[in-house]
Amino acid sequence: MMGAYPDAAPEPEKTREATEREAAWDPHLRSTHDVTNHRIQATDGEIGHVEDFLIDDKTWAIRYLIINTRNWWPERRS
């Protein structure tokens, strides 16, 4: 019986380079879900919170953070 990925090569044993990359892994890395609603602090106090992200759909890089500053910069209505 063939597996789900018949052309996939078996995983090689970990090399020293792979182990060094894992050691360089940033334990502070979080998902966008985990970071949403985190407060943004400036030198003079809190200015808002992370509301959303603009992500490049080709590279999956986060290009911009959407910061809600409603409590710091009141929304004006006319």
- Confidence category of residue 77, pLDDT binned at 50, 70, 90: very low
Is pLDDT at 66 greater than 90 in this prediction? yes
Ranges 31-35, 65-69, 70-74, most confident: 65-69
Provide the token pair at 50: 């992370």
pLDDT of residue 44: 87
In the prediction, which pLDDT does 51 show?
94
Element (H, E) at 55: strand 45-55
Mean pLDDT of all residues in the chain? 76
pTM to 2 decimals? 0.53
